[in-house]
Amino acid sequence: MKIALILVAAGEGKRVGGKTPKQFQKIHGKPLLAYSLERFTKIKDLAEVVLAVPHGKEKWAAKLLKLPLKRFRKVEFVAGGKTRQESVFNALQRLSDSITHVLVHDGVRPFVNSKKVAELIGMLKTEEAVILASPATDTVKRVAPRLRSRSGPDGPSGPMAGFSTSNAVAETLNRREIFLAETPQGFKKEILLQAHLEAQKKGFTFSDDSALVEATGRRVAICPNDGKNLKITGPADLALARLLLPK
């Protein structure tokens, strides 16, 4: 098994605010992305790393991450696309032919447990696709628009026709069957590449790579996690990261 890590860090990070994208904002003098990188330094089978960063920021990012990147055998940077899906596909194109498996990880998940990553890799010996996911702890509701009238604000055939502006609970889902998808997500390289190509052909866009693989009809296994793999999304998450990440 020869593994590559694709670290997705091409987003603009607008919800955090500031001129610098959140993945490059410094915490205790170190970019947030560096903390995410360091979680993979102990993975023995990791042959190469490809980082998808904002277009035109490749050299700047390489300089910013110079120290943590020294701990990896081979590192490349690639310009991200307009969507996360495009960014991952761009990174896939840069992988060596010898790579057999791929881990895709969000650059803004600095708390992933290295032992869980190793467990996921172990599962890839018998599975084509495995994702980290934590069981839902809250009660989960499926929401559907409430029927109102046949005529909407844009007329009888407008986009809001038949619905009110407020939503209502359609059903309560079985919490035991609900898991919250995280990263890394691991795949056989050819399976993930095929899924991306099929999605492009059909014009599909998904929010994570496991959804692309699911769309091809393939099995995606779960590696259960503990809910501590926080994704830094907004200002409150960034403030929490400053408290929890080591100085």
pTM: 0.89
Give residue 160's domain range: 141-172
DSSP H or E segment with residue 77: strand 75-79
What is residue 48's predicted lDDT score, i.e. its pLDDT? Answer: 96
What is residue 17's predicted lDDT score, i.e. its pLDDT? Answer: 59
Q: Distances in Å between the alpha carbon of 106 and those of 32, 36, 120, 203?
A: 11, 8, 16, 23
Pairing mode, strands 129-135 and 221-224:
parallel
Residues 76 and 192 reside in one and the same domain: yes
Judge contact between 152 and 62, C-beta under 8 A.
Answer: no
Judge contact between 87 and 81, C-beta under 8 A.
Answer: yes
Here the tokens at position 30 are 């170190």
Residues 16 and 72 reside in one and the same domain: yes
Residues 151 and 129 reside in one and the same domain: no
What is residue 146's predicted lDDT score, i.e. its pLDDT? Answer: 64
Give the Cα separation of 211 and 24 in Å (integer).
27
Residues 75 and 147 reside in one and the same domain: no
How far does Cα 149 stand from its chain's mean position?
Answer: 40
What is residue 20's predicted lDDT score, i.e. its pLDDT? Answer: 84
Judge contact between 12 and 54, C-beta under 8 A.
Answer: yes
* pLDDT tens digits along 204-219: 999 999 999 999 999 9
Give the Cα separation of 49 and 33 in Å (integer).
13
What is residue 151's predicted lDDT score, i.e. its pLDDT? Answer: 47
Give the Cα separation of 28 and 35 in Å (integer).
11
Here the tokens at position 215 are 């769309």
In a domain, 212, yes or no: yes
Residue labelled with tokens 């997705």: 8
Number of domains the chain is built from: 2
Mean pLDDT of the chain, nearest integer: 90
What is residue 18's predicted lDDT score, i.e. its pLDDT? Answer: 65
What CATH number is given to the structural domain containing 220?
3.90.550.10
Residues 112 and 218 reside in one and the same domain: yes
In a domain, 117, yes or no: yes
Residue segments in the chain with a per-residue pLDDT below the cut of 50: 149-160, 162-163
In a domain, 177, yes or no: no
Give the Cα separation of 185 and 120 in Å (integer).
8
Residues 206 and 88 reside in one and the same domain: yes
Give the Cα separation of 244 and 247 in Å (integer).
9
Q: Which of 152, 172, 192 is the last residue of a domain?
A: 172
